[in-house]
Chain A
Amino acid sequence: MWLTRAGPPAVAGGSSARAERIGGGAPHRLPVPTVPRAARAARWLRSAEVRHQAWGYLFLAPMFLLLVVFKFIPMIQALYLSLTTYDLLSPPRFVGLRNYMTLLGDPLFHQSVGVTVYYVFGTCGFIWFLSLAMALIFNAPLPGKNLLRTIYFLPAIVPVVVYAVIWQFLFHPYGLLNVALHAVGLPAIHWLTDTRAVMPGFILAALWRFVPYFMIVYLAGLQNIPHEYYEAAAIDGAAGVQAFRYVTLPLLRPTILLVVVVSIILMSKVFTNVLIITGGGPDGATRVLSLFIYQTGFQFFKMGLASAASIFLLLGTMTFTLLQLRLFRDDARG
């Protein structure tokens, strides 16, 4: 029926296109009796396609509602609060961009940004390569591979508080790390009280937890590469490093993009383990941006300033993500 009658433009257009494909030429339009607009709309609403779409939206609605209530509204609220001074106890007072200017001139905020960048790139750089290396190892035929994979993956599923407490013990002056250093004749390190050692310690802890996680992501990507490509490459004389360079890497590009983007977002949001293990100390050496935001907002009750810092964090993470998406897209075209 829809093929021969003028319906609402979008649906009619789509149907005409189908008719063209079916008939191989322009549709033959029959004289159409005039149907009132309201009746046409009602018929359109009763149509199977619309009902189908409506069900889709209905199923999406709960999650969409959750996103709106717990993500988008708070984000807009944070944006608004970043333009105010607000201590929770008195009503917010509009101050324009003052909070942003304060942060730009605040050495503690600069230190936090520096600490965050150090942590993010110190961690991600290793994660990208180590997890790929581990995935390549676990993708190869190994005896007891599944058991080894499971064992290696365990740190990724340990609750974050447990992970923090485990590393608190490991970082103790007489903990396992220093015992190991002592065993190989190296001096002990004050992991939690030496401002130079504390961040490398955190990076080490993050690798223990996140390399297995991203290894699984890489492993999924590797297992999606059809074996025929390697066979074809072998016929052309490419094996080993060449096969990795010309087959694995190009086909793994979407997975690499995912790992790079997700790891940067995850690492830039680091919070719980830092709060538990050092609380940002010593002397702010581990006060990452999310901890700075937490302390400014929930310890010092400076919600406006904390919101402005969270907007900076959002912009920073978004910029990196867009940059990576752009870089990978350009690379794909090239």
Chain B
Amino acid sequence: MLRCGRLAAGAVAVLAISFVVGLPRGADVSPAAAAVAGWVLPTGPVTLTEWDGGDGTKSALLRELIADYEKLHPNVKVNFETDVKSLKVAAAIAAGTAPEIFEASDANLQKYIAAKAVEPLPPAAWGQSSVDGVLALYLPHVLDAVTAGHSLYAVPDQLNAHSLYINNRMFRAAGLDPAKGAPKTWDDVARLNKILTKKQGDRVTQKGFEFRYICDDGHWQAHVFHILVYQAGGDVIKDGKPVFNSEAGLKALTTWKSLVVAPAVTSNTCSSPYQDFAVEQDAMTFAGPHVGKIVEQINPAMKGNYTVVPLPQMRPDHPATLIYSFNWTVNARASAAQKRVAWDLIHFMSSKPEMWWQRIQFLQGTRGWLTMPVARNTPFMSAFTHDLSVGRPLGRTTYYADLQTIIARMVDRVILKDVDPKTALAEASDEFTRAISK
């Protein structure tokens, strides 16, 4: 734990120093300042539509920011729609009716970039003369997933790396200290599972830790598999081809198997994936920074009843994890004037990290944010930033939807049908090779 804590503190310090010493110009550029730097906005009336895939909490904040922007730019009218699924976005792109701004996960974005459906980000909108200038405003590598060639196609409204949430009460009830007794490796988690899992007869009434097996698209299984493969020193996809049928893949699946308690005993659903932790069935879970608020909403008794530490590792000396994001993108078919205003609005909305954190605990991965008082005073921020600093993006492929369901089936075979991990890896690799050739 101490080692991990030192790592986290070190990461924060390095990032903070790099911010103070090498802050690029225009890090917190207002639209007005951006205009000074050469980003000229149209003066005539401009109407935009923005589609967001998020929930009610997020949309309330977005509506507020849009209203503020409209006040600053009376010639701009923004129609906002929330809870828009990616399928609707794809269908709208196909029909030529996609809005000027839409949210895309980093996984979906690869398809949009390949189809030239999204517009590259103009650095001038961020007051920068090059893409490198914009990249320098963010933590290292957090924009890797939204970059192709030397173009940047989006910036995140939500950037996540999973950390480990611990239920203080359940830990203490088992004679453990949530901070000092926090697991640093998956072996530690497996050991704690034996202490924290409780049964009444055959019935599991409490679990230590369990991965999630929900969502028909395999979202969670794919995330966990990426995390474990990265931690084992491997890769999932390389140059669009599957490379997970490897020693690292094998280590990932065997580690996963060692952590299984009772997958069927769960109240988690795709729309409420943190239910088991929130209702204190599970003593630990993995989740991003925004989940604390969700857990407290489900069960107010959880307020002050959890600790967040960096995600357990396979090799603590080589920490690794997954970062994933949901991003603002601009429709390549929008008019020139709409594109200008769209990017300016995105810059405006993304330049208020303190607001995003205080209101809904969303991180966007900007460097400047870490030195703000609100960040310094945020509990567990060192854990979140540590995990962000060692994160790598999802396997880059335009067939990510195929990949995640194939991974989910592979995990099903290993975990539920007890198929040999080597066989399951080989089958999954063949399946993905077939999928990308269809």
Residues of A within 8 A of B (CB): 87-90, 102, 106, 108, 172-174, 188, 190, 192-195, 275, 278-284, 295, 298-302, 305
Given contact pairs A281-B216, A282-B416, A301-B90, A89 touches B409 in the complex (Cβ within 8 A):
no
The answer to the question of B265 belonging to the interface, with a C-beta cut-off of 8 Å to chain A, is yes
Determine whether the beta carbon of A173 is less than 8 Å from that of B401. no
* B416 lies within 8 A of A279 (CB): no
State A208–B247 Cα separation when bound (angstroms).
47
Within 8 A of A (CB), among B56-93: 87, 90-91, 93
Q: Which chain A positions have C-beta within 8 A of B257? A: none
In the bound complex, do residue B416 and residue A193 qualify as a contact, i.e. CB atoms below 8 Å apart?
yes
Report the minimal beta-carbon distance from B333 to chain A, rounded to whole angstroms: 12
Cβ-defined contact, B115 with A90, below 8 A? yes
Given contacts A284-B409, A298-B87, A305-B438, contact A88 B93 (CB under 8 A): yes
Q: In the docked arrangement, what's the CA distance between A278 and B405, Å?
A: 13
Does any Cβ of A come within 8 Å of B399's Cβ? yes
Set of chain B residues within 8 Å of A194, measured between Cβ atoms: 416
Whether A302 contacts B438 in the complex (CB less than 8 A), given A193-B264, A279-B216, comes out as yes
Nearest CB on A from B149, distance (A)? 18
* Bound CA span A330–B252, Å: 60
Quick one: which of B174-223 are within 8 Å of A by CB?
202-203, 213, 215-217
Inter-subunit contact B412/A282 (CB<8 Å): yes
Chain B positions 390 through 433: 1 when the CB is less than 8 Å from some CB of chain A, otherwise 0: 00000000010110010011001100110000000000000100
| B215-A283 in contact (CB<8A) | no
Residues of B within 8 A of A301 (CB): 90, 111, 401
Q: How far is the CB of B8 from chain A (nearest CB, A)?
A: 36
Restricting to B227-267, which residues have a CB under 8 Å from any CB of A?
262-265
Q: Are A88's CB and B91's CB within 8 A?
A: yes
Q: What is the CA–CA distance of A42 and B115 in the complex, to the nearest angstrom?
A: 58
Q: Given that A88-B91, A190-B264, A193-B263 are contacting pairs, would A283 and B413 also be in contact in the complex, using a CB cutoff of 8 Å?
A: yes
Q: B117: CB under 8 A from chain A? A: yes
State the B residues within 8 Å of A (CB). Answer: 87, 90-91, 93-94, 111-112, 114-115, 117, 202-203, 213, 215-217, 262-265, 399, 401-402, 405, 408-409, 412-413, 416-417, 431, 434-435, 438
Q: How far is the CB of B269 from chain A (nearest CB, A)?
A: 9
Complexed CA–CA distance, A283 and B418 (Å): 12
Is A299's CB under 8 angstroms from B417's CB?
no
Contacts of A195 in B (CB 8 A): 412, 416-417
Distance A286 CA – B111 CA, assembled complex (angstroms)? 28
Distance between A294 CB and nearest chain B CB, rounded to angstroms: 9
A88-B91, A193-B263, A284-B409 given; A108·B215 CB < 8 A? no
Given A88-B94, A106-B434, output 4 extra A-B contacts at Cβ < 8 Å.
A89-B111, A195-B417, A299-B405, A300-B399
| Interface pair A89/B94, CB less than 8 Å apart | yes
| A105 CB, min distance to chain B CBs, angstroms | 9
- Cβ–Cβ contact B115 & A280, under 8 A: no
- Counted as pairs of residues, one from A and one from B, with CB atoms less than 8 Å apart, the total is 70
Q: How far is the CB of B345 from chain A (nearest CB, A)?
A: 24
Question: Residue on B with the closest CB to A89?
Answer: B115
Whether B264 pairs with A295 at a CB distance below 8 angstroms is no
In the assembled complex, the Cα of A130 lies from the Cα of B177 at a distance in Å of 59
Question: Given the complex of chains A and B, what is the CA–CA distance between A299 and B203 in angstroms?
Answer: 36
Beta-carbon contact of A281 and B409 below 8 Å: yes
Collect the chain A residues with CB atoms within 8 Å of residue B216's CB. 275, 278-281, 295
Docked-complex contact A281 and B408, CB < 8 angstroms: yes
> Which residues of B lie under 8 Å from residue A302 when comparing CB positions?
438
Q: Across the interface, do B431 and A300 meet the contact criterion of CB distance under 8 Å?
A: no
Contacts of B413 in A (CB 8 A): 283
Q: Which residue of A lies closest to B265 (CB)?
A: A173
**Across-interface contacts of A284 in B (CB, < 8 A):** 409
Residue A173 contacts which of B93, B264, B402, B409 (CB distance < 8 angstroms)? Answer: B264
| 6 chain-A/chain-B pairs, Cβ below 8 angstroms | A89-B94, A90-B115, A195-B417, A275-B216, A280-B216, A283-B416
- The CA of A301 and the CA of B112, in the complex, are separated in Å by 12
Q: Are B401 and A282 in contact (CB under 8 A)?
A: no
- A108–B401 contact, CB under 8 A? no
Please state if A174 and B265 are interface contacts (CB–CB under 8 Å): yes
For the complex, give the distance between the alpha carbons of A302 and B437 in Å: 11
Task: Indicate if the CB atoms of A188 and B438 lie closer than 8 Å.
Answer: no
Q: Do A102 and B262 have beta carbons less than 8 Å apart?
A: no
B residues within 8 A CB of A278? 216
In Å, the complex CA distance between A283 and B112 comes to: 29
Question: What is the CB-to-nearest-CB distance from B365 to chain A, in angstroms, rounded to a whole number?
Answer: 27
Residue of B nearest to A182 (CB): B202
Q: Name the B residues within 8 Å of A275 (CB-CB).
A: 216
Distance, CA A102 to CA B202, complexed state (A): 46
Q: How far is it, in angstroms, between the C-alpha of A162 and the C-alpha of B408 when the chains are bound?
A: 26
* Assembly CA distance A301 to B94 (angstroms): 11
The 8 Å CB contact of A300, one of B264, B416, B435, is: B435
- Nearest neighbor of B400 in chain A, beta-carbon distance: A300
- A283 in contact with B409 given A193-B416, A301-B111 (CB within 8 Å): yes
**Min distance, Cβ B281 to any Cβ of chain A, angstroms:** 12
Inter-chain contact B412/A283, CB cutoff 8 Å: yes
A188 contacts which chain B residues (CB < 8 A)? 202
Instruction: Give every chain B residue within 8 A of A305 (Cβ-Cβ).
Output: 438
Shortest beta-carbon distance from B415 to chain A in Å: 9
Per a CB cutoff under 8 Å, which of A88, A102, A108, A174 touches B431?
A108
Determine whether the beta carbon of A299 is less than 8 Å from that of B217: yes
Q: Assuming the A-B contacts A173-B262, A279-B216, A302-B438, are A295 and B111 also in contact, with contact meaning beta carbons closer than 8 angstroms in the complex?
A: no
B375 to chain A, nearest CB (A): 37
Whether the pair A282, B417 counts as a contact (CB closer than 8 A) is: yes
Chain B nearest CB, measured from A191 CB (Å) = 8
In angstroms, Cα B423 to Cα A283, docked, is 14
The 8 A-B pairs at the shortest CB distance, nearest first, are namely A279-B216, A89-B115, A283-B412, A88-B94, A282-B412, A193-B264, A88-B90, A173-B264
A89 touches B93 (CB 8 A): yes
> How far apart sit A26 and B433, CA to CA, in the bound complex (Å)?
79
List chain B residues, Cβ under 8 A from A295: 216, 405
A302 and B112 alpha carbons, distance in the complex (Å):
15
Find chain A residues with CB under 8 A from B215 CB.
Answer: 279
Give the Cβ gap from A95 to chain B, nearest Cβ, in Å: 10
Complex alpha-carbon distance, A67 and B32, angstroms = 55
Q: How far, in angstroms, from A195 to B408 measured CA to CA in the complex?
A: 14
Contact A89 B117 (CB under 8 A): yes
Chain A residues with Cβ below 8 Å from B435 are 300
Name the A residues within 8 Å of B264 (CB-CB). Answer: 172-173, 190, 192-193
Q: Would you give the shortest CB distance from A292 to chain B, in whole angstroms?
A: 11
